[in-house]
Structure 1
């Protein structure tokens, strides 16, 4: 536990110190998000906050992370570095969606080579496919969630905090998951200090793709020896339910309106709909943080739940998930087709 605390503090300090430096570098090099009709910020805003998150995370692990499970540690870091490089290129020059997706798939494929894969199904090929779908899906979910100041970084910090708690609760503790979660938690909190509304720096795709990849990998790594996998497969899904819900909501909404869910930005994310219902942007983000914390607590309960209890909770969450999509589509549908989108993709 002391090791995890030390990693958290070091990552936090590096992030707090490094984020302003990344801001200066972005301004000097012109890597900024320029205001336009489809964005809500009014001044050019630096985009290299994700680089500060990445460096704080990696440096904390290199200094104090230990060398347990070195093959898997290297595999996660190599894959995360690859998606971060893809994000940097997209922030600086812009990439076509298919190129970004290809980079994410290649990064995800590194995890099975390092021994990190989903182990739910009896057929190994299906487990490998599920691993790729999960990693690419969560990576993009965090990228899509990055649509309002402080949102993606805060939700990632909450998820990392719950992963850290779950790693420590295991006997023996899961050292790799705990170390990565502590580093991610510290790096995200340090960054959100500058990214909360009004943000002075955005994480860009560099940060959102990195956060999604790390969280997806940690979710696969988590093990719960005190309970059956028939129950515990739900735990990481519930921890990450907020980005999963936001991505599903956007996908359903855009498909209903005949729009491409991956390439068409719009004012139809959960945060935008909360603002449309009367919340301020800060209130919308805080509400989503509260929801993320609540489902994280439910996930912690599931680690100790029996089969019947777990599936009652899972069924209730699934019903609420579907109802919430219907309710938001009915009462706060977001930007109508054909209207200029107004989301803030890199906030």
Structure 2
């Protein structure tokens, strides 16, 4: 172990093993899907032009399960597993449940309400088994601690989990986007979790969020080489919903883990609620989800009816190429997520400077097509040959 109770090497090993297994399993899954003709046909709102295999979530969960079993055997990480804490068991079975829902949806296209019921069932499995909100720290005035009873915690956790599942699923509309956003958000929460582990000297309760994040970052990193534009396989709803559930698990697990008695009133770490940090890490997909619901409802449509109005669609119409669109969104998520985390791990003035520089850089990258060519009537820049109108 390295650091004050922080098993960096072991977490790094888990991350690398998750990435390696996912990378290898994705090739196997893709080959099987192609041989059996299980490929995603082109829909009006899609930005890809060739039928492509889906159900990549199966490979991602394979990497998750393999690295999970490894972590369970590593002496430095066993404190994060049962019987000391039920959270890793909860996230495993919750992930298995959401994978089952996603695979059925990828292969047979479930109705919106049926899929929503399946999402709540998976979220309920996870919350009942042990990952549920218990404490909120409200860092305003003299500070307030909100303590939830078991039922309140499970209900709120299930709603929060379904929100994140759909947020990631909604934003998964362009090659490499969901995998990259999951990797960035997972890394931000991992950094936060490591700071909690360090500050609390390796307390048992601080292990699960760090392990979950290492697994999440690993499976996203392993899948991304297959999925970055031009994608050879899609993660499908099975993969996108798995990322959403793991982000929720890490967020819920990280919340309430700070021991406020360890910090003075003037210490910024004590004033930054964990839930604020993790919400910042997934702010983009959540905002995209909320805007999609508002947009569709205002048109008199079902909030579950797919369209081509997501953030990535708008960036494509602005004139960005597919790869540049993904990189711009990576930059925005990184700026917000790491900016929020920086306030917990570095001095305030440096955190402010870092966050401002990151946000300005993301803004300038967003405006690049406006300086390169005239925007045509389809919304595509005339100077971007690889851009194509969407929807």
- The TM-score range, normalised by the shorter chain, is 0.7 to 0.9
Cα distance, 1:204 vs. partner? 0.3
Change (3 A) 1:305 1:164: closer
Change (3 A) 1:249 1:213: same
For residue 23 of structure 2, the aligned residue among 16, 19, 29 is 16
Greater displacement, 189-198 / 220-229: 220-229
Greater displacement, 33-42 / 130-139: 33-42
For residue 144 of structure 1, the aligned residue among 144, 148, 170 is 170
Cα distance, 1:304 vs. partner? 6.0
For residue 81 of structure 1, the aligned residue among 87, 92, 96 is 96
2:235 pairs with 1:194: no
Q: Please give the alpha-carbon distance, in whole angstroms, between the structure 2 residues aligned to 1:43 and 1:230.
A: 46
Q: Please give the alpha-carbon distance, in whole angstroms, between the structure 1 residues aligned to 2:342 and 2:293.
A: 29
Cα distance, 1:103 vs. partner? 1.1
Name the SS of the counterpart of 2:175 in structure 1.
coil
Name the SS of the counterpart of 2:91 in structure 1.
helix
Kept after mapping to 1: 8 A contact 2:195/2:345? no
TM-score scaled by length of structure 1 = 0.84
Match of 1:237 in 2: 279
TM-score scaled by length of structure 2 = 0.75
For residue 35 of structure 2, the aligned residue among 21, 24, 28 is 28
Which structure has more RCO (C-alpha within 8 Å, separation ≥ 6)?
Answer: 1
2:165 pairs with 1:133: no
For residue 124 of structure 2, the aligned residue among 105, 109, 113 is 109
Q: 1:292-327 CA distances to partner (integer Å, 9 max, x unpaired)?
A: 111112221343699xxx9xxxxxxxxxxxxxxxxx
Kept after mapping to 2: 8 A contact 1:249/1:270? no
Point out where structure 2 has 5 or more consecutive residues left out of the alignment: 1-7, 137-145, 264-268, 352-377, 380-388
Match of 1:51 in 2: 58
Kept after mapping to 1: 8 A contact 2:209/2:249? no
Q: Please give the alpha-carbon distance, in whole angstroms, between the structure 2 residues aligned to 1:299 and 1:84.
A: 30
Q: 1:260-312 CA distances to partner (integer Å, 9 max, x unpaired)?
A: 121x1111000001111111111111111011111112221343699xxx9xx
Name the SS of the counterpart of 1:43 in structure 2.
coil
For residue 272 of structure 1, the aligned residue among 309, 313, 328 is 313
Which is higher, the Rg of structure 1 or of structure 2? 2
Q: Please give the alpha-carbon distance, in whole angstroms, between the structure 2 residues aligned to 1:289 and 1:230.
A: 24
Change (3 A) 1:85 1:9: same
Match of 1:69 in 2: 81
Q: Please give the alpha-carbon distance, in whole angstroms, between the structure 1 residues aligned to 2:130 and 2:103.
A: 27
Aligned residues: 313
Q: CA RMSD in A?
A: 2.5
Matches within 5 A, 1:310-329: none
2:141 pairs with 1:118: no
